[in-house]
Amino acid sequence: MKWVGIDVGGTFTDVVVYDHQDGLVRSAKRPTTPAEPELGVFEALEALAVDLPRVARFRHGATVATNTALERKGARIGVLTTRGFRDVLMVGRGNRLDLYNIKATRPVGLVERTHILEVSGRLRADGSEMTPLDENGVHDAARRFEAMGVDTVAVCFLHAYANGAHEARAASRLRDTLPGVLVCTSAEVLPEHREYERFATTALNAYVAPRMSGYLTRLADRLEAEGLSVSPEIMSSSGGSWSFARMARLPVNSMLSGPAGGVIGAVETCRALQLTDFITCDMGGTSTDVAMVRGGAYALSMEGTIGEFPNRVPQIEINTVGAGGGSLAYLDTGGFLNVGPRSAGAVPGPACYGRGGTEPTVTDANVVLGRLRPNARLGDRITLDVEAAERAVDALADRLQLDRMTTAAGIVRIANTRMTAAVKEISVMRGIDPRSFALVAFGGAGPLHAAEIAAELAMPQVIVPPLPGAFSAFGLLVAERRLDYSQAALIPLTDDHLADIRARLEAMEDTARKELADEGFGGHAVRIEHSLDIRFHGQAFELATPLTAGMHNAAAIGESFRAIYAERYSHADSGSAECVCLRLSAFGLGDKPAARTDDSSASGPSQTDVMTRTVYFDGGPEDARVLDRASLPPEARVQGPAVIEEPGAVTIVPPRSTARVASTGALILVREGEAGE
Amino acid sequence: MNSIDPITLEVVTEGLISVVREMRATVFRTARSVAIYEARDFSCGLFDARGQVVAQSEDIGSHVVPLPWSVEASLDRIGDDLEPGDVIVMNDPYLGGTHLNDVTLIYPVFHDGELVFFPAVREHWADVGGAVPGSMSGSATEIYQEGIRIPPVKLVSRGEVNHAAMEILLSNMRVRDERMGDFNSGLAACRTAERRVRELIDRYGIETLLSGVRTNLDRSERRMRAQIGKLPDGRYLFEDYLETFGPAPTHRLEPLWLPLELTIAGDTLKADFTGAAEQAPAPVNSTLAVTAASVFIVLKSVLDPRQALNQGSFRPVQVVAPKGTIVNVTHPAPAGSHGEIRKRVIANMLGALAQACPELSSADIQRTSFHNLIGGIDPVTRKEYVHYEWSAGGNGAFAEHDGPSAMAPIDWGDLMTAQSTEVLETRYPLHVRWTGQAADSGGPGRTRGGLATRRALELERGEARYSLLADGAVVPAFGILGGESGAPVGSFIQRGDDVVPFPTPGKIGGHLMTAGDVIILQSAGGGGYGDPLERDPAEVVADVLSGYVTVGEAAKVYGVAISEGRLDRAATESLRRRHAAGRARFAIDVVPSKAVFQAVGRGCKRIARLAPEDALRWQFGDDQLVEMVGAGGPPVRAWTVVDATAASGRLQLDERACATLNVTVHDEVRLRPVYSPPLKVTAPLDTG
């Protein structure tokens, strides 16, 4: 029996397979074909000789929806909205994105104004009907959508979070009249108040749905044809595994599918190390994703965006910064040395890839510094052209009138500064001191930079999990089934209204349990968490307040809210509180692998394995030992300066630091004088 | 001066910006007033010992850019008496401030006994006392009605808060607990900044840090000098107006004249507002800091939009604004109109730059900060409420693109301007009937000005008071290079089918609304760029199909004939020929300025004297707002005077107008009514 996790990224498709027989986890990496992502999936499966009939769990992570949105390759969409509110989607919040630029423009929306139609029918804030829905108007709109040739229609009515009846009736009429056109409603996608954010999220869902559902259908069909007997699942942005069918309907929940896998994987890795407070740093080719985990739990954000547009479904709070291995170093118009967010991308890629790139990237700088070198024995598919990297860095060094090594070190230092800022933003800026947090580094480039980033922020230790190069795929394997539900409802937080809140939560729980039962989870395999979004009366910002067993009255809930408020805003406040939104997360619990990578060769580095090479650090050149990670047995210690290599990633152990192999296989890096763990 | 390598420079710069970001986060986390943590009406900055901005982040230009004047005024008064642990607090517009609501904390940071940096926080305190809740009074005649004035004082001395002074301040403000919270959040942000600055000093050394600061300032200066150097040397004139009204019952328009002489010489630039109207006992005045900052915001946005903002950019720039005028207010005139003066200084700068570098600049932007207030007591909840909204207008068109519609202008940072109907209807007894972009409100041009926002708000129950502090309700945003004006600001009350404009448009104080009344408000449209007859007919058709322009206006201003949603090419060609031929052109007589200006009450306006037969021929009325259009650049606005003594076919211009229009006595000048789109006070469009 095997479990499979497959993460389709923009450039590479990673697969991780857990084999119950030998208890080992193996991985492989293949290029992604963006037009047909399923090709990479099957190539990766083939690389590890996965026999689909023997697969008992198939978990997927895919950025298909994300790339569709970012590259503007989505559907032709129509929007049906409340009369008088056609411009909600056109105007947005009326803010300016480019602050000091007389020629700033508004980003081009996902829908044209001519494709937004209005219909009469108006609800009040409490959901009661002010004007009935004009069903003939809906019918006329359907005819006009047909003439426009739209692929999907988003139905976006005011106050639909409070009462979805108008939207549901309109959607049903549209579906009747427009067979083959996908219709989604705002109440179904995001039943929360603030019309622009809800409408935009719904429009985004409609925009990516045809491509995502087409892809998921093709993939599921072929997996079934090749013998997969279990239902394949896909990771949601909130860190739970969903059925393909649900995600095909609500693909806007898959925007962080891959990065969420990395955070979930880190939670599992650190649980085994008994670490509960850490920050993840997933550095890939074009960007770095940073997330914070406290007390073993990651935070969900309801403030997400994709490109310039809001995407307000719950998603793991991940801070993305445009600096990765492929980020270009260049002199900007002001003559300043800059790194990213421009990237060499997959083509041509860094100069050292030898595919025609000539501008220096962060990867090229690492090659020049000796941190990254071609390594035939690891079977890497990309060979590195050291001279090309040197030429690229030299060109920039000439313009800066600096030498090659100073320039390369400078590029790495500036990239690290960008990532340091990203870590600060999710910790220091929220009043949390990262000095008590570990840094968990993965992604192709994460372990290369992690030690220096941690030192800069005085974080005590760095964890490099097993399989850092395919870590998101590993995270997919261990994720739980998770479904999130929400319902906007303005209810005063008093004992009189508690019964109402409970009744609504129970109704949501019934829906959740039914949906999980349909997917095969029941009884003890289901865990339910409730929370309320609460704010002080009169304020506009609410905070998610978990409901726990002991909270029997409004005072207890209010006290918990006040404590969360005090932590977030650094001061206590008083006044009456009100509930704005009810939330419920339902988990379907399954087994998790006790992951162990193949360490059959881990007898300790033999004499022949130990090489040294010159690697440049802040203080200048050092003779660093170069080790194969697979050769390091548990409890092995590696004194820096050292380079630990493995397929898909390289870990740098700087001078005066030590790396230790934990029993779980994770590498733990600690600076001299720090206690570690 | 030791030099700094480019890598350390980048790292140090990022470090300084990160200090400001952390200050922002601290204010956001610790403030207790809605204005700050919801509307984000605050800014932070890091200044050097001479008060120059060295770092800022996503802050509001109208806050940060004037801050150096506050630092300078503070240094002048108490600079010799500063010690570690002191905190200066000030809001005095007459001493380097903006308006009284913008309370500023300035925090000197010392290193080895030397003053090295000033972190500073400017927050909009929701109330600083005065005649009305919120302190911003549309009817103030003296500053005392706008709140309590705080000159630069050490409210904290060596770390000890002066409780006596604090008590006096708080006792003069509404909701004192909230004000105390505002103060504490600013203090927390400054203390955070001090800690971080010290860490940077420990890490890189004070010399490296200061050298980084100097290098950044010098580079910004060099970049700005290089940009100014590319502009043609010369003297560029423009003029514009603020609107005041005379007493009831006529409420005659008394426009206040604001002229600009912009001189470009080599790599330096001077903006001179000599001649500006005297300050008035009305909310139309602002401070030198606001005037100069507005000049800077335009230069930064037009000439150097890509790089982070610091003070170096403004070293080659000189601003002259005579004391006692609307652009450099002195005691005791009201100073609450920073939002309107800012927009008018920006307009003047855009008018001058339209002559010097129209390809880099844009037509005029939304004319106002458009402060709408509806407040009362909800009879159901019996609670007091105030709904405050500031819908954005249209931005000016520029060479490459139509002006963005309903989007915050360059001086508003990242402020959100469109409020959620769902939130509004949940909180207040108000019902939003409709909201959207107003058709035909964007100034026609080869590229079109941005559209205004138009909304209808209905009072559902009880009574309420409606106030508006705005400008540009009579004189709209101008187009350039032949482009036409955007729609003026508008505000109307609808009872049943009757729609009535207010007698003092743009300046309304406490109008009584009863249940069922509807307020229709429209922000200002942006000006157009280039001749509308040169707009690609396909784009006009697209605008009509999208509902941005109506079929009638497409024919009338763009000369584009559309039938059944399609372009009629032949009809368009003949229409465009006819429009071009039918333009009123006049020969020029050059006369002294006093012949073409007329005093109106406390105001003064330019006039265009027309012979009766010319007025008849071209259908100009008397006292109609018109504009003269020259070969390029901006228009010159005037009011018609039909005068039997005027020579037929000729128009009198003073040298100022000739220079602005770039015409001489041998040229012709076009005269046209200022474009005003047909006013349909209905939903922005109807797709039913």
Question: Residue A605: what pLDDT?
Answer: 57
**pLDDT, tens digit, for every residue of A212-256?**
999 999 999 999 999 999 999 999 999 988 999 999 999 999 999
**pLDDT, tens digit, for every residue of B379-430?**
998 887 888 888 999 999 999 999 999 999 999 887 888 989 998 998 889 9
Contact criterion met (CB < 8 Å) for B421 and A334 = no
More confident call, A585 vs A379:
A585
| Contact between B262 and B240 (Cβ < 8 Å) | no
Mean pLDDT to the nearest integer, B181-207: 91
Question: Residue B687: what pLDDT?
Answer: 43
Question: Residue A675: what pLDDT?
Answer: 57
Any CB–CB contact under 8 A between B412 and chain A?
Answer: yes
The structure tokens listed for A422 are 């990203």
Q: Please give the single-letter amino acid code of residue A373.
A: R
Query: Has residue A379 got a pLDDT over 70?
Result: no
- With tokens 């200050």, the residue in question is B23
A541 — pLDDT class (breaks 50, 70, 90): confident
List Cβ neighbours of A346 (8 Å cut-off, separation of 6 or more).
Answer: A10, A11, A31, A285, A326
Question: Residue A529: what pLDDT?
Answer: 92
Question: Residue A53: what pLDDT?
Answer: 95
Which residues sit opposite B256 in a β-bridge?
B242
| pTM, full prediction | 0.92
- Chain B residues touching residue A106 (CB < 8 angstroms): 404-405, 407
Does residue A348 have a cis peptide bond before it, meaning omega lies within 30 degrees of 0? Answer: yes
A 319-348 residues with CB < 8 A to B = 332-338
Burial B183-196 (b: 16+ CB within 10 A, else e): bbbbbbbbbbbbeb
Contact criterion met (CB < 8 Å) for A337 and B10 = yes
Query: Has residue B435 got a pLDDT over 80?
Result: yes
> Which of A157, A71, A80 is closest to A117 using CA atoms?
A80
- Chain B residues touching residue A335 (CB < 8 angstroms): 219
A 553-582 residues with CB < 8 A to B = 568-571, 573
Question: Residue B421: what pLDDT?
Answer: 95
DSSP string over A624-667: EEEEEGGGPPTT-EEESSEEEEETTEEEEE-TTEEEEE-TTS-E
Residue of B nearest to A88 (CA): B436
User: Min CA distance, A162 vs chain B (Å)?
Assistant: 10
What is the C-alpha to C-alpha distance for residues A581 and A585, in angstroms, rounded to an integer?
13
Query: Has residue B587 got a pLDDT over 90?
Result: yes
What is the C-alpha to C-alpha distance for residues B44 and B67, in angstroms, rounded to an integer?
10
B606 — pLDDT class (breaks 50, 70, 90): very high
Q: What is the end-to-end Cα distance of chain A in Å, rounded?
A: 35
Query: Has residue B623 got a pLDDT over 50?
Result: yes
Interface mutation vs chain B, best among A85, A91, A128, A398, most B CBs within 10 Å: A91
Question: Residue A596: what pLDDT?
Answer: 64
Query: Has residue A375 got a pLDDT over 70?
Result: no
Question: Residue A677: what pLDDT?
Answer: 46
Question: Residue B688: what pLDDT?
Answer: 37
Contact criterion met (CB < 8 Å) for B396 and A102 = yes
The structure tokens listed for A498 are 């508690």
The partner residue sitting opposite B404, judged by closest CB among A86, A104, A570, is: A104
Lowest mean pLDDT among A429-433, A625-629, B297-301: A429-433
B254 — pLDDT class (breaks 50, 70, 90): very high
DSSP SS3 for A490? strand
Report ipTM for this prediction: 0.93
Question: Residue B514: what pLDDT?
Answer: 94
| Contact between A93 and B417 (Cβ < 8 Å) | yes
| Contact between A259 and A282 (Cβ < 8 Å) | yes
**pLDDT, tens digit, for every residue of B269-313?**
999 999 999 999 988 999 999 999 999 999 999 998 877 778 888
The partner residue sitting opposite B437, judged by closest CB among A87, A417, A568, is: A87
Lowest mean pLDDT among A410-424, A561-575, A607-621: A561-575
The partner residue sitting opposite A429, judged by closest CB among B21, B298, B404, is: B21
Query: Has residue A180 got a pLDDT over 50?
Result: yes
- Give the best-scoring range by mean pLDDT among A349-363, A368-382, B567-581: B567-581
Mean pLDDT to the nearest integer, B232-257: 95
- Give the best-scoring range by mean pLDDT among A5-19, A331-345, B547-561: B547-561
- Chain A residues touching residue B396 (CB < 8 angstroms): 102
Question: Is the four-CA dihedral B30, B34, B38, B40 of positive or negative sign?
Answer: negative
Sheet strands (E) in B312-351? 317-320
- Chain A residues touching residue B455 (CB < 8 angstroms): none
- With tokens 């007459």, the residue in question is B94
Q: Name the packing angle between helices B206-229 and B176-204 (round to 10°).
A: 100
Name the strand (E) or helix (H) holding A293.
Answer: strand A288-294
B 435-494 residues with CB < 8 A to A = 435-437, 453
State the number of CA atoms in the 13 A half-sphere of A148 facing the CB: 24
> Which of B601, B100, B172, B133 is closest to B332 using CA atoms?
B100
Any CB–CB contact under 8 A between A538 and chain B?
Answer: yes
Residue of A nearest to B393 (CA): A94
- Chain A residues touching residue B418 (CB < 8 angstroms): 91-94, 196
Any CB–CB contact under 8 A between A413 and chain B?
Answer: yes
A597 — pLDDT class (breaks 50, 70, 90): low
**pLDDT, tens digit, for every residue of A17-58?**
999 888 888 899 888 888 889 999 999 999 999 999 999 999
What does pLDDT average to over chain B? 92
Query: Has residue B684 got a pLDDT over 70?
Result: no
What is the C-alpha to C-alpha distance for residues A415 and A330, in angstroms, rounded to an integer?
12
Mean pLDDT to the nearest integer, B505-515: 88
